[in-house]
Structure 1
Amino acid sequence: MTRCPGCLKADQATFCAPCRKRLFDGKKVPFELPFSRPDYDRAKREDVSGRMSISGVQTKIPLALRDGKLEMAAAGGQYILKPRPHGSFDRLDMVPINEHLTMQIARRVFKIAVAENALVSFSDGEVAYLVRRFDVQADGSRLLQEDFAQIASRSEETHGKNYKYDFSYEEIGRLIRRYVPTSKVDLERYFALVAFNYLVHNGDAHAKNFSLIRSNLTGAYALTPAYDLLNTRLHLPGESQTALDLFADGFETESYKANGFYAYDDFVEFARRLDLVETRSRRILEAFIAKRPDVFSLIDSSRLSDECKESYRKHVDDRTKAFSYSYSDSRR
């Protein structure tokens, strides 16, 4: 069955009309790129160093839409192309498909705002992941975007090689409260995104993978759409359960002390520390339990190999059980 390479809608020969509108402002753009993977490799060379992670082995290049075709750009561009990375991790040919699927699960199942994205193909058939930049305006100008490593003044020079991991989700929440005028809304969005990363085993959701963006009209900051979402456990079986600690200052709930993994009580406490409305945060958590069949359905409709589909379902099943478990019976 042929599916839209954007939203995975069935019975689509190419990008469906809604995806063309979101991705390409309605223009008809072919699924196949006008260059090959060897062409890409010649244009892009990147050193890999530091902590081993999926993001650390992925290369990317800007693309510009010209005359209905996506072409490599020396700089700028409205899009970013991320092909299969090179390295020693498992199933690297599945990385672009994994990222696209995970972004679609976030958007379609849990209504999380994400960067517009799709799969495309090199001219020699290899599949790659395409994302539209949300910081680039129609006239080519860019909005100011700062990730939370920048906002927290954390860098390799000041905090060492693990600077983007030696932080906590609670501390990011404090920065949102400090800098975002509509923090009540964005903290709820942020809470849902942290919980989603836990559900899909994204062990690389570090401080640089959450950002604020500034409006040119008002000058106010807001949380950006989500980006760089994928199930890292498919490629790094020993990946940590989260990139960052949930809580600041080494705090652990009684549930975590007893079981060694984050569960329902941990996210209830996390929501409390973000000052979320309790009924709303609990509704978000319950959705991660109730919508497991919808997640499985999208996994099954993806281009992942059968082995990866089985592993992805198992990972989500394990995390759904964690969300369902309350050490203190607080789900009652």
Structure 2
Amino acid sequence: MIEIKVCPSTLAEGFDSYSPSARNVLFDGKIVSPYLTEPSPSTDSVEAKEIFQSVGRISLSGVQPKFAVVIGENLRLRYAQKGEQGTYILKPRPNAYHILNKDYCAANEHLTMQIASQVYGIETAANGLCFFGNDEPAYITRRFDIHATGKYQQEDFAALMGYTKANGGSEYKYCNASYEECAEIIRLHVKAAAIDILHFFKLVIFNFISLNDDAHLKNFSLINKNGEYRLSPAYDLINTSLHLVQPRIFALDKGLLKEGMSLSDTHQTGRTDFEEFGKRIGLPEKVIKREIDRFTKENPLIDKLINHSFLSDNLKKQYRMSTDYRRKMLIF
């Protein structure tokens, strides 16, 4: 069994399980074990195959399997059965042949989400890691669209723009819009648009410096609470450069601006592009400068979180180097 020395949610030192603050956010204070008794989807056994025949699989988006999970009677996380409402999403190790460093996808997503939340104050879905019996880690996140009596209405930006595979092509999530046009969706549907457009601006900058080039239209959404739409907490944040042979600069083909950008060379993207993006989506110049400056500054907490993460030593180095490089691109 893997030895835990930091909280597998907050990455705080001195914990062999979820810390009290993590339990409050993830499990409403319940003392839930980070060790799963359920089999990993990669387990090749008759017992595992029988279990997965009745498991409530949510979807397979791209190459990442997702499973609905609930807290069982013994305070252990377990797969939701068909017809049972899962309150958590479990993302185990992907199996696609073209994904590099598959064993560390969960640790990467967890670290990236924690940096977004702890360092930059970006609202994220509550998240952590848990571990199968073979020590394989899985990413777990609490569903923010579920409440005590049902579900909140949630619409991703692809749906809000009216794009589907049928009318937008197989790459409809990537090729039909820019982040500027995403901001227009917020302005159209959100009453407190000025607040959420600023949140969106921060998230787009964070995706750039963290090399999350999978921030496509379905990875942004609006959620309707109390009859009013707001930008959903951030989800699916990951440094894709650790897993893809040919990472992109932006997930959306057009990049930041609605007329598109020249994205053949990463050196062509920098501070002035984000300043122009901020102006176009209606942010004051002083706010744009303040936020970009905040993302360019070194922060010792980033290094601390990387060091405490469940990435390998080599991937910690790659993560640190890649994000430092992108951060410095925003200085000039």
What is the TM-score when the length of structure 2 is the normalising length?
Answer: 0.89
- The structure 2 residue matched to 1:78, chosen from 57, 79, 87, is 87
Q: Name the structure 2 match of 1:154.
A: 163
Question: Any gaps of 5 or more consecutive residues in structure 1?
Answer: 50-54, 326-332
- Residue equivalent to 1:329: none
* 1:192-250 C-alpha deviation (Å, 9 max, x unpaired): 000000001011100000000001x2x11000000000000100131111101111022
Q: Where does residue 16 of structure 2 map in the other structure?
A: 13
Is 1:319 paired with 2:326?
Answer: yes
| 1:292–1:316 Cα contact (<8 Å) kept | no
Cα offset for 1:34? 2.1
Number of residue pairs matched?
313
Distance 2:131 2:265 in 1: 47
Whether the 8 Å contact between 1:188 and 1:281 is mirrored in structure 2 is no
Q: Give the distance between the partners of 2:212 and 2:240, measured in 1 at CA.
A: 5
1:24 aligns with 2:27: yes
TM-superposed deviation, 1:281: 2.0
2:68 equivalent among 42, 62, 69:
62
- Of stretches 6-15 and 121-130 in structure 1, the one that deviates more from structure 2 is 121-130
For 1:196-207, list aligned pairs within 5 A.
Answer: 196-207=206-217
User: Is this contact kept in 2: 1:3–1:12, CA < 8 A?
Assistant: yes
Which residues in structure 2 correspond to 1:101-116 (within 5 Å)? 101-116=111-126
Change (3 A) 1:228 1:257: closer
Which AA in structure 1 matches 2:166? E
Aligned positions of 1:261-276 closer than 5 A: 261-276=268-283
Aligned-residue RMSD, C-alpha: 2.0
Does residue 232 of structure 2 align to residue 224 of structure 1?
A: yes
Alpha-carbon distance between aligned partners in 2 of 1:153 and 1:258, rounded to the nearest angstrom: 31
Deviation at 1:183, TM superposition (A): 0.4
Judge conservation of contact 1:97–1:302 (CA < 8 Å) in 2. Answer: yes
Question: 1:1-332 residue pairs with structure 2 within 5 A?
Answer: 2-37=5-40, 38=43, 43=52, 55-67=61-73, 68-73=75-80, 74=82, 75-88=84-97, 89-139=99-149, 141-166=150-175, 167-215=177-225, 217=226, 219-244=227-252, 245-250=255-260, 260-325=267-332
Q: 1:257 to 1:229 in 2, by over 3 A?
A: closer
Q: Percent identity?
A: 39
For the structure 1 residues 169 and 111, does the alpha-carbon distance in structure 2 shift closer, same or farther, using more than 3 Å as the test? same
What's the CA shift string for 1:19-51, capped at 9, x where partnerless? 1010000011001112121366651798x99xx
Instruction: State TM-score, norm by structure 1.
Output: 0.89
| 1:261 CA displacement | 2.8
The secondary structure found in structure 2 opposite 1:165 is: helix
AA aligned opposite 1:5: P
- Range that drifts further, 259-268 or 73-82: 259-268
State which drifts further: 311-320 or 113-122. 311-320
Q: Deviations over 1:263-283 (max 9, x none)?
A: 111111110011012212211
Task: Give the aligned residue type for 2:174.
Answer: Y
Report if aligned partners of 1:292, 1:317 keep a CA contact under 8 Å in 2. no
The alpha-carbon deviation at position 13 of structure 1 amounts to: 1.5
